[in-house]
Structure 1
């Protein structure tokens, strides 16, 4: 059996640089499909469904696969080791693609259904975790006996061109290591339609740890993972892109849902952060770099500081985002800008967040630039808190109770609807009829669409906040509100947790 990469080989930067150079010289390879079912069939050589690899053959042969190889994996549970060796994990080589969600009869990829044919890569080597009907360890706390029977991680990816599509990655236990579910190093892996659930790291990246990478994540869910840094996901000097992902009920000391650090800039868009917790900073997200966050919703996250988001240093940007119902026992229920954070906030809505100080926003030794944004109905701690060294620049904002020192500050009621599905991939707070935010925004620098993708402006000016009230009648603009009419009753669900609650 070929072992996965051990810890002493993961971090050799020189080897990775050589690898990238080598990959550039590789010729294009034709696709070869390897078929996998849980128990295998026939000759178990992977040549067709009737002779599919079983679990043991899959973990033996995945590593060192040629560029262009595709693995079609049928629904079931698959471990990286069938002998109980915790140091083994699946290795996704450069240019190799893993596709889950098959029944075992398909002749093309588009016939699979990853939603119903649950395909699980699990680190529960001895099958003694608390699991659901599909064998998924739903939360890190469901791992049995402090991870004694769990692999150090489930999956490791490196290099260019890999694909992971349609899997649930669960029950990795990285004690004194990083990336319980998956480690992604110096790579450009495309990760799509995947769930990372119930993984643990005592360091960083309970669900996923990404270092020096340019990977993309689309339509993924991070649920019930736990780590010191980045319960759901941790990016270290990575320009990874998360698009349409859900981070929910993850735990960490810093960055319950996600933590992002060092110089390369990750991008988060069309994502939802909900019910994540951090015992220290950043319930939803922690950034110590210039992360770009757009068209995303933070709700019901909690932390000591920065319930929704905590930004330390650098120059992160927050555009077309909604923060609602987040809490901090200390400062910054919605967002906390700390220690020279030059945060830029544009067309965002902070509604009903709470903290001891700065229910919706707290600034400590930081002076963010805030434009076209709403701060309203703080549950506790006031709307905005600034320490003696913070002088934020607010322009064309709606602030309950007003704000001294800003430009074009509006104290009138923005008449926000509840956080709901108003079209688009994430929930928003609609502007209701008579809102003070309608047509009151600043045009210069404003985004061309709102959080849902509705074009701006719809009227004589740009609306303040993440929601642009549409001019068209009949709920046009993707289920959005109508100018001059009450907020419609049509509520669309945000991205359903189909991967987590399938039975």
Structure 2
């Protein structure tokens, strides 16, 4: 307790310079700084496979490793509580390299650098991180904030202002990752500025906002399995190419699968296509989703070359800058591309058409959709064309995400199909409240709800 270790230098291959733990070690109210190693496993602290390490109310800063874990390399069991890991450097895992079992609570991972990957943390073991901040870390190749190759659980975590250079400004996930009540904001990379996922990632009650991809795929880049529930994706920018909010794509090994439930994708920007969603040969299922206010030069709302199914979804107020563009849904590029619509609103695209399909199976109605023009090929039972849905502005109408309320007298009220209609709307209100469920993501109740409260997310 109350220990300071500083100004240590070593350069023996695969040795450990600052603290090397094989047993049980507890550090509290301590400072471990300015330890520099050569081609070694850890800068400041190495916790071996048999080690049990607990650190509380301490700072580990400005240490350097020529290999793994500039601040800490853990292969045993490690617990950090109220710890600051800052200004450390390594090839992998600038702040922390974890190959064991790691628990972090109420801590800050700040300003660390990996010359290759995992500027803040690189995890190849099991990790649980709660109520902590991962901020201003850099991965010079990729993975600025958190690089996951193991199993990780993040709750109440803020990942902000991290830079991943090529991929994964905030998060780069190649394995199993679960996030809840977390914020991924203002991160940067060439691609996948907020999150780059080629593993399996589940996120609930979260926000992904204001991330900037200098090339494309700003908010999410998914080539794995991505499940989002009660998540807001807003204000992300793809500066050069496609995919402002979410990109769901196919890589050389697998096709991206994207499942969206109770999600709002709003006010994202792509320089070319897919301001809201860019589905590049992937598979997408969306239920109770709002796609609103996104913009691009050519295709603003949803750009599809894969397979999409939209149920009780609201797509509105998306805008393009080119007069030949499409604001809501484009389907094309290959012979198998298809968009299925049920109980869905497509509306308010300004002076350009809501929909177009140039190649593929097409835009297929499964019934009971509402289109504010006649461009979406809606000719199935219950479909309404050239119909104004009378939507309110995007607002907090209750629930975890913003929605467009149906105003009184909307033709979408009681106009959906109860078969296949979800049991609740995007806010969690029960469906149907009338004889039939409403079209779109919002179920009209006659009065605006006041009992639903947005979850508290640390900022």
**TM-score, reference length from structure 1:** 0.69
Number of aligned positions between the proteins: 394
Partner residue of 1:433? 408
2:217 to 282, 285, 292: 282
2:197 to 253, 260, 285: 260
Map 1:197-236; keep pairs closer than 5 Å: 197-211=135-149, 213-227=150-164, 228-236=166-174
Preserved CA contact (<8 Å) 2:44 2:60: no
C-alpha RMSD of the superposition: 3.5
The reply to whether residue 330 of structure 1 matches residue 272 of structure 2 is yes
Partner residue of 1:475? 449
Preserved CA contact (<8 Å) 1:454 1:477: no
Q: Indicate how the Cα distance of structure 1 residues 448 and 190 shifts in structure 2: closer, same or farther if over 3 A, else same.
A: farther
Partner residue of 2:317? 377
Preserved CA contact (<8 Å) 1:421 1:493: no
Partner residue of 1:360? 301
Structure 1 residues 249-258 or 439-448, which shifts more?
439-448
SS in 1 for 2:452: helix
The reply to whether residue 387 of structure 1 matches residue 328 of structure 2 is no
| Larger helix proportion of the pair | 1
1:73 to 53, 57, 74: 57
In 1: Cα distance, 2:54 partner to 2:30 partner:
17
Preserved CA contact (<8 Å) 2:274 2:299: yes
Preserved CA contact (<8 Å) 1:322 1:466: no
Partner residue of 1:121? 85
Q: Indicate how the Cα distance of structure 1 residues 426 and 391 shifts in structure 2: closer, same or farther if over 3 A, else same.
A: closer
In 1: Cα distance, 2:207 partner to 2:176 partner:
19
Map 1:445-464; keep pairs closer than 5 Å: 445-464=420-439
Q: Indicate how the Cα distance of structure 1 residues 435 and 55 shifts in structure 2: closer, same or farther if over 3 A, else same.
A: farther
Preserved CA contact (<8 Å) 1:281 1:306: yes
For residue 456 of structure 1, report the CA deviation from its aligned partner: 4.0
**TM-score, reference length from structure 2:** 0.75
**Structure 2 unaligned regions, length at least 5:** 16-22, 36-41, 348-352, 356-362, 372-386
Partner residue of 1:170? 110
**Structure 1 unaligned regions, length at least 5:** 10-28, 40-53, 101-118, 126-146, 480-491, 498-503
**1:436-495 superposed Cα distances (whole Å, 9 cap, x missing partner):** 444444445554444444444444444444444457x6834415xxxxxxxxxxxx6862
In 2: Cα distance, 1:358 partner to 1:242 partner:
30
Partner residue of 1:294? 229
Partner residue of 1:95? 77
The reply to whether residue 156 of structure 1 matches residue 97 of structure 2 is yes
Q: Indicate how the Cα distance of structure 1 residues 356 and 423 shifts in structure 2: closer, same or farther if over 3 A, else same.
A: same
Partner residue of 1:397? 344
In 2: Cα distance, 1:494 partner to 1:370 partner:
29
Q: Indicate how the Cα distance of structure 1 residues 167 and 431 shifts in structure 2: closer, same or farther if over 3 A, else same.
A: farther
2:26 to 11, 29, 34: 34
Q: Indicate how the Cα distance of structure 1 residues 62 and 424 shifts in structure 2: closer, same or farther if over 3 A, else same.
A: farther
In 1: Cα distance, 2:302 partner to 2:309 partner:
12
For residue 269 of structure 1, report the CA deviation from its aligned partner: 1.9
